Amino acid sequence: MSQETEPPATARAAPEETARYASLLATGESVLVVRRRHWLTFIDAARWFVLCIGAGIVVAALNQAVSNGGVTGFVSTLLGWAFWAFFLVGLAGVGWYFLAWQRERYLVTTRRVIEAGGVVNKYTRDTSLPMITDMVVGHPWLGRIFGYGEIDLLTASEAGTNKIRFLPDADEFKKTLLDARHEYELDVGGGRAVQDSVTSLAATPAVAPASAPEGASLTAEELDSAITRLADLRDRGLLTDEQFEEKKRELLDRL
């Protein structure tokens, strides 16, 4: 009895994720994996905050050199407000970065790689699986410690490379993407039907009429019919010449 082989875990669709992101998907498209960038991406936000605080400290130092009285009193007041302005701008930048990070997602579907996000104005950017020509995975030293990496998606479009930084479990993401592209190529190229036919044929003990039990002798008519079917499968590319000859010998032995 033939045993159905389950697809790899990375190639299975996630029904709950597919339902959640249904508005981004085409008919028949399913989500395989969803990723949000690693929390260490806030290193970029910290740089902005440090820059603003640094500017505020410079302003505060200038304020110390300016007298609070007389004509320079107004300038001193402005410098004092400028320090707090830089501080608040730095905090606002970090808060905005957090909101953008919280809404940003990278999805691998059965057809595309999708980047979705946006705080006020929503956006989606996608790359179809056939357009991806190669992938480069990098592991910075911090990434090896905290479990994230970087992926460069090399595409055939004019845009060139799509880089995803601070991606958790980048190797698994790449594996899922490769599996999805392989499945897509099989479906679009007709390879799925060939693969299923060959698998089904390999699980069948012999190509013979259902009325003839395994090991029973075949009549000349049954033998002719079975070999004709084998030849047809070979001509359609579902059997190799070696498989055809092997099955043919099995049938001839039962004559």
Cα–Cα dist 33/170, whole Å: 12
Cα–Cα dist 112/155, whole Å: 12
Q: Which of 157-166, 190-199, 226-235 has the lowest mean pLDDT?
A: 190-199
Higher-pLDDT residue of 106 and 65 is 106
pTM (global) more than 0.75: no
Rg of the Cα atoms in the chain: 32
pLDDT at residue 159 greater than cutoff 80: no
CATH number of 9-37+104-189: 2.30.29.30
Cα–Cα dist 93/253, whole Å: 80
Q: Which of 7-11, 86-90, 198-202 has the lowest mean pLDDT?
A: 7-11
Q: What is the pLDDT of residues 85-142, one digit of tens each?
A: 888 888 888 899 999 999 999 999 999 999 999 999 999 988 888 888 888 899 999 9
Going from N- to C-terminal start, the domains of the chain cover 9-37+104-189, 41-101, 201-253
Cα–Cα dist 67/77, whole Å: 10
